[in-house]
Amino acid sequence: MNVRRAELRDIPGILNLLVQVDMVHHEGRPDLFKGPATKYNAEELKDIIADDKTPVFVCVDDNDFVAGHAFCIEKQVLGDSVLTDIKTLYIDDICVDEDHRRMNIGTMIFEHVRAYAKAHDFYNITLNVWECNPGAGKFYESLGFKPQKTCMETIL
Mean pLDDT along residues 42-64: 97
Residue 50 covered by a domain: yes
- Under a CB-based contact definition with an 8 Å cutoff, are residues 56 and 93 in contact? no
**CA gap 119, 69 in Å, rounded:** 19
User: Residue 46 — pLDDT band, cuts 50, 70, 90?
Assistant: very high
Q: Are strands 87-96 and 124-127 parallel, antiparallel or unpaired?
A: parallel
Residue 156 domain-assigned?
no
State the pLDDT at residue 113.
98
In a domain, 150, yes or no: no
Strands (E), the chain: 2-5, 56-60, 66-76, 87-96, 124-127
Does 75 fall in a domain?
Answer: yes
Residue 109, domain member (yes or no): yes
Average pLDDT across the chain, whole number: 96
| 97-120 confidence digits (pLDDT tens) | 999 999 999 999 999 999 999 999
Residue 43 placed within a domain: yes
Could you tell me what percent of the chain has a pLDDT over 70? 100
pTM of the model: 0.93
- What letter does residue 39 receive in the DSSP assignment? S
Q: Per the domain annotation, does 149 fall within a domain?
A: no
Residue 2: band (very low, low, confident or very high) from pLDDT cuts 50, 70, 90: very high
Classified as helix, coil or strand, 105 is helix
Read off the DSSP letter of residue 98.
G
Q: What is the pLDDT of residue 11?
A: 98
Pairing of strands 2-5, 56-60: antiparallel
Stretch 74-81: mean pLDDT, rounded? 95
Whole-number pLDDT of residue 32:
96
Number of independent structural domains in the chain: 1
The gap from C-alpha 145 to its chain's centroid, in whole angstroms, comes to 14
Report the CATH number that the domain containing residue 106 is assigned in CATH: 3.40.630.30
SS3 content of the chain, % helix, strand, coil (to 5): 35, 20, 40
Interval 7-20: pLDDT, tens? 999 999 999 999 99
Residue 152 included in any domain: no
Neighbouring residues of 150: CB distance < 8 A, sequence distance ≥ 6: none
Please give the average per-residue pLDDT across 24-44, as a whole number: 95
Would you say 39 and 18 are in contact if contact means Cβ atoms under 8 Å apart?
yes
Give the confidence band of 50 by pLDDT, cuts at 50, 70, 90.
Answer: very high
Give CA–CA dist 137/94, Å, rounded: 12
Give the range of the structural domain holding residue 17, as residue numbers without chain letter. 2-142
